[in-house]
Structure 1
Amino acid sequence: MERNNLAFYDQQAAQWWSETATIFPLSKMNPLRFEYFDRAIPEWDGLRVLDVGCGGGYTCEFLAQRGAVVTGIDQSAACIQVAKDHGAAMGLTIDYRVGVGENLPFGDDGFDVVVCVDVLEHVESPAATVMEIGRVLRPGGLFCFDTINRTLRSHWIMIWLLEDVLRQIPRGVHDWQKFVRPEELEELLQQAGFSEVTMQGFDLFGRQPWAQMTNLMHFWQTGGFRVRFDQDTRVMYIGTAQWG
């Protein structure tokens, strides 16, 4: 079975904004993520923000509604077209491009913030992606990210439960070998020239294994996510880093 099968996102593109779509619960995660990001950036109005791996535009629209000047990029042309159409229908001005994180089609120092959520575990090269993100950030700009740790617990939740048992997402979307440990990402960030790296656990499913199956099913079906930030990074984690 193919792993890290990103064709799933092309297949979901047409239904991206449908409330019954498999992908739609991910739209509910932005208010939770930004509880963390807002600690570092309490005011987004007027900031030049790039969303790397924007899919059909959930985070881009969330940020545009908060007054940011938003650009989104994704390797899926189908998702980008859906994002353009939905943004226009919502009266939002967002610059969407097709491209990959390892080769961003932008000049140096062009953004105040780069957001990359639920993406680093899918890219071909996290190192090259981090380097490119640094290049397009202005000095002192901020990188906001979340991703999945490579642990036995993350395999249990993200692959065995979500893909194999509950079938909330198709089998093969995730590749456990591509999950990124926090210490690995911190090293990549520092090598690229980032500083002031902060990371915390991003808990959506509860820490007790006996309850995780029930929580996962409830959260994925209803979008009723709850969040806790703590020091337990064994599944998902979230963070920021300053460029330069």
Structure 2
Amino acid sequence: MTLTSTVDPAEVAKFEAMAAEWWDPNGKFKPLHMLNPCRLDYITRQIAAEFDRDLTQPLPFKGLRLLDIGCGGGLLSEPMARLGADVVGADAAARNIPVAMVHAEQSGLRIDYRHTTAEDLAAAGERFDVVLNMEVVEHVADPLAYLTACQNLLKNNGLMICSTLNRNPKSFVMAIIGAEYVMRWLPKGTHEWQKFITPDELYDLIRRAGLEPVDKKGMVFNPVSWSWSLSARDLSCNYVTASVKRNGH
């Protein structure tokens, strides 16, 4: 297997060290477990709107092929499979894959987990209706090359959901000082602030990769209710975008 690519080996090693803790809601991935309901709310609504699916029906995503790139332990792959999607979960960190496979088996879910990259999947001719690209773009060596690979993975009229972190003083305080040093939710050095991407920069990269941005929302943490919610206005820290592939790019 050739792992070509925009993968940064130091970033991959960091996440491999944490692989066994993926499904511990109070472990190193506590922030993702807390963020997950908010992410899923956005993802499911966008997919339902783009593909005209009724979320009140059983298996509303049946017949859709979905790629969860940077799947980690499967925190998004599993709910997508439960909604009926045909899910491929891919991660460049080899040790995440057995963790994800074991958990899916324990959960009675069929998910195709692979140790591979977006570039290798695209080169192999894989195509998907939906690409979930959540909290990955700030960890790659070349965001434009990576997003172009994601675009190549989409069928025409396919949908990419991409989330990342804004780059400003607030995100430095919240995501690095707060999450890594004060709350100690994440190991120090998990994020590099200079790799964070502003919404305008991300929209520009998405367009240059051959996709059409159609929506963006902030994901805002409320320290009083200790929960995350979507915001149309506040994209100052975590945010998520939807873009579509039109005209056979």
Among all aligned residue pairs of Structure 1 and Structure 2, give the percentage whose two residues are the same amino acid.
36
Q: Distance in 2 between matches of 1:25 and 1:149?
A: 17
TM-score by length of 1: 0.85
Alignment of 1:1-244 (within 5 A): 5-42=11-48, 43=53, 44-104=61-121, 107-108=124-125, 110-205=127-222, 215=223, 219=226, 225-244=227-246
Q: Distance in 2 between matches of 1:160 and 1:123?
A: 22
Q: For this pair of structures, how many residues does the alignment match?
A: 226
Q: Deviation of residue 34 (structure 1)?
A: 2.6
Q: Secondary structure at the match of 1:204?
A: strand
Q: Distance in 2 between matches of 1:122 and 1:76?
A: 12
Q: Secondary structure at the match of 2:138?
A: coil
- Report if aligned partners of 2:88, 2:111 keep a CA contact under 8 Å in 1: yes
Q: Distance in 2 between matches of 1:153 and 1:49?
A: 33
- Report if aligned partners of 1:8, 1:170 keep a CA contact under 8 Å in 2: no
Q: Tell me, which stretches of 5 or more residues in structure 1 are unaligned?
A: 206-214, 220-224
CA deviations on 1:2-43 (whole Å, 9 max, x unpaired) are xx7543421221232234322144134332113223332223
Q: Secondary structure at the match of 2:216?
A: strand
- Report if aligned partners of 2:25, 2:33 keep a CA contact under 8 Å in 1: no
Q: Secondary structure at the match of 2:17?
A: helix
Counterparts in 2 of 1:151 and 1:121: CA distance versus 1, 3 Å: same
Counterpart residue identity of residue 31, structure 1: P
Counterpart residue identity of residue 96, structure 2: C
Q: Distance in 1 between matches of 2:25 and 2:220?
A: 23
Counterpart residue identity of residue 235, structure 1: C
- Report if aligned partners of 2:217, 2:230 keep a CA contact under 8 Å in 1: no
Counterparts in 2 of 1:64 and 1:28: CA distance versus 1, 3 Å: farther
Which is further off, 189-198 or 44-53?
189-198
TM-score by length of 2: 0.83
Q: Tell me, which stretches of 5 or more residues in structure 2 are unaligned?
A: 1-9, 54-60
CA deviations on 1:145-189 (whole Å, 9 max, x unpaired) are 111011111001001111122222111000001101111111111
Counterpart residue identity of residue 115, structure 2: V
Please name the residue that 1:211 is paired with: none
- Report if aligned partners of 1:61, 1:92 keep a CA contact under 8 Å in 2: yes
| C-alpha RMSD over aligned residues | 2.0
- Report if aligned partners of 1:204, 1:228 keep a CA contact under 8 Å in 2: no
